[in-house]
């Protein structure tokens, strides 16, 4: 009798359970300072070097390095390579740069995880920096072309010709703005739309902001940040946290993006433009042996990188789609997650995500998740403060939030899970599922 051929199984998404175990290990960062403040004289490379030096001193030689900054610098094309060399690292270590808006260094961690293959690549140094105080002002493309022709000219006549072809209308400066290029709207304007759409009140936003400041201040007071933050000559601790903040003080702030009278986002419930750098380790089980035994670590169980249609959805909503998919894929509910580290670009964005995660219609029709995920445990959210209080240097936030989560998770019982989430400009997001041990 003929035997029927075995049906070929559909190829599932590759999970980390089918690859060698990958571990995220807490690193160090600079203190974070508001743009124009204590770190204002340092560019992205200046900020990166002390962090990379400290990491190399603790962990020795990595097999690769991934670093990133969102705001470009005309003199640095590969910040990772420049930071490695300037820090005295082994120049035979390959170093590459990643850019994914606010998710930059979390995306760098995922990329590094995929490169650790047990064939001489076991340990990666990952991180990023942002120097919001040192954003370079550019020239119009036409004026740049004329200046380049002038510099390339070999005779006085050619130089004169290059100068005289310049039109007055071409003499313009390009000042980078924190706006989405495709929509022309700022992150704050987009989040105002989100807050209105999800009916997130000003009071709810201010309550989350106040909690962020209080938790971050308590974390510093308890010594939680002592081994995560470098002491620098310019500044010794985060400079944005306001331990004396109050609902009354937050309530007196004026809307920052919508001045129509309906705006609810303020400087108090939005993350500020921030200078800083942060790093972490990504390691295989073999790579862990090169790191100090006491370094907090957590296993990467699974992750999600996703994007939404930014013309048909609120710009920063991507993680609200990714989180339920990630949990459903791993058979977990919200209550099964002991720690939630959600990036606070704006507290309105966090509140909107939490509302969406508990909205059956959103989960069913948009996230396409039918599993019953339950109640979101607000009491487990950002226990040592988030970006609203700590700060948000775009390229550094991924490494900052992952290092913070890894340390927090390592203090919980073995087997405990954490979700770490970042929304990013362009309608994108990154989410990691971690486990203690």
Structure confidence at residue 189 (pLDDT): 97
Task: Assign 113 to helix, strand or coil.
Answer: helix
Share above pLDDT 90 across residues of the chain, in percent, rounded to a whole number: 84
Question: In the prediction, which pLDDT does 371 show?
Answer: 97
Beta bridge partners of residue 80, listed in sequence order: none
Per-residue tokens: 66: 């991934």
Decide the pairing of beta strands 22-25 and 297-307.
Answer: antiparallel
Q: What is the pLDDT of residue 8?
A: 32
Can you give the pLDDT at residue 407? 98
Which one-letter DSSP state was computed for residue 296? -
Active-site residue set: 102, 392, 423
Question: Could you give the C-alpha distances from 407 to 52, 163, 271, 297, in angstroms and in order?
Answer: 19, 58, 22, 7
Q: Helix 318-329 vs helix 347-357: angle between axes, to the nearest 10 degrees?
A: 40
Q: What is the DSSP string of 85-109?
A: HHTT--TTS-EEE--BTBTHHHHHH
Q: Is the pTM of this model over 0.95?
A: no
Average pLDDT, whole number, for the chain? 93
pLDDT under 70 in the chain at which residues? 1-19
Considering the domain delimited by 187-227+242-271+300-435, tell me its CATH architecture: 3-Layer(aba) Sandwich (3.40)
**Contact (Cβ atoms closer than 8 angstroms) between residue 388 and residue 267:** no
**Cα dist from 391 to 42, 216, 229, 356, whole Å:** 17, 11, 13, 25
What pLDDT sits at residue 5? 32
E strand or H helix that includes residue 205:
helix 202-222
Fold of 16-132+275-288: Peroxisomal Thiolase; Chain A, domain 1 (3.40.47)
Who's near 352: CB < 8 A, 6+ residues apart? Answer: 194, 195, 197, 198, 200, 314, 317, 320
d(CA 338, CA 331): 15
Q: What is the pLDDT of residue 19?
A: 65
**Domain boundaries for CATH 3.40.47.10 within the chain:** 16-132+275-288, 187-227+242-271+300-435
Strand partners, 346: 270
**Cα distance between residue 245 and residue 223, in whole Å:** 20
The 10s digit of each residue's pLDDT in 136-167 is: 888 888 888 888 888 998 898 888 888 888 88
Close Cβ partners of 226 (under 8 Å, ≥ 6 residues apart): none
Torsion over CA: 210, 216, 217, 218 (sign): positive
DSSP label of 237:
S
Looking at residue 18, its pLDDT comes to 55
- Structure confidence at residue 81 (pLDDT): 98
């Amino acid at each position: 009798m003929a035997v029927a051929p075995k049906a070929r199984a559909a190829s599932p998404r590759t999970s980390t359970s089918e690859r060698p175990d990958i571990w995220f290990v807490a690193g160090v960062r600079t203190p974070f300072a508001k743009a124009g403040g204590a770190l204002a004289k340092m560019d992205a490379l200046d900020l990166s070097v002390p962090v990379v030096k400290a990491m190399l001193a603790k962990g020795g030689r990595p097999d690769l390095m991934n670093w990133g900054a969102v705001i470009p610098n005309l003199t640095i094309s590969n910040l990772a390579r420049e930071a490695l060399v300037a820090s005295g690292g082994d120049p035979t270590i390959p170093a590459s740069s990643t850019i994914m808006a606010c998710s930059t260094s979390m995306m760098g961690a995922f990329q590094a995880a995929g490169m650790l293959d047990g064939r001489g690549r076991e340990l990666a140094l990952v991180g990023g920096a942002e120097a919001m105080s040192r954003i370079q002002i550019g020239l119009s493309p036409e004026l740049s072309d004329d200046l380049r022709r002038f510099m390339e000219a070999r005779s006085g006549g050619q130089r004169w010709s290059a100068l005289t072809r310049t039109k007055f209308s071409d003499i313009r400066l390009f000042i980078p703005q924190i706006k989405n290029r495709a929509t022309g709207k700022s992150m704050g304007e987009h989040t105002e739309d989100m807050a209105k759409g999800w009916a997130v009140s000003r009071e709810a936003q201010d309550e989350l902001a106040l909690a962020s400041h209080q938790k971050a201040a308590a974390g510093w007071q308890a010594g939680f940040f002592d081994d995560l933050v470098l002491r620098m000559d310019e500044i010794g601790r985060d400079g944005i946290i306001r331990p004396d903040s109050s609902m009354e003080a937050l309530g007196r702030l004026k809307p920052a993006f919508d001045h129509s009278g309906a705006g609810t986002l303020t400087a108090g419930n939005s993350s500020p433009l921030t200078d800083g750098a942060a790093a972490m380790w990504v390691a295989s089980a073999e790579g862990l042996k090169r790191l100090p035994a006491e370094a907090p670590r957590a296993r990467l169980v699974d992750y999600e990188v996703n994007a939404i249609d930014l013309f048909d959805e609120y710009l920063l909503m991507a993680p609200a789609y990714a989180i339920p998919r990630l949990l459903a894929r791993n058979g977990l509910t919200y209550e099964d997650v002991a720690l939630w580290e959600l990036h606070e670009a704006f507290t309105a964005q966090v509140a909107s995500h939490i509302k969406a995660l508990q909205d059956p219609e959103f989960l069913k029709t948009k996230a396409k998740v039918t599993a019953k995920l339950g109640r979101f445990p607000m009491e487990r959210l950002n226990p040592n403060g988030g970006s609203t209080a700590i700060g948000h240097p775009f390229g550094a936030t991924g490494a900052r939030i992952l290092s913070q989560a890894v340390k927090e998770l390592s203090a919980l019982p073995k087997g405990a899970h954490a979700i770490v989430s970042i929304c990013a400009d362009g309608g994108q997001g990154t989410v990691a599922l971690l486990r203690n041990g």
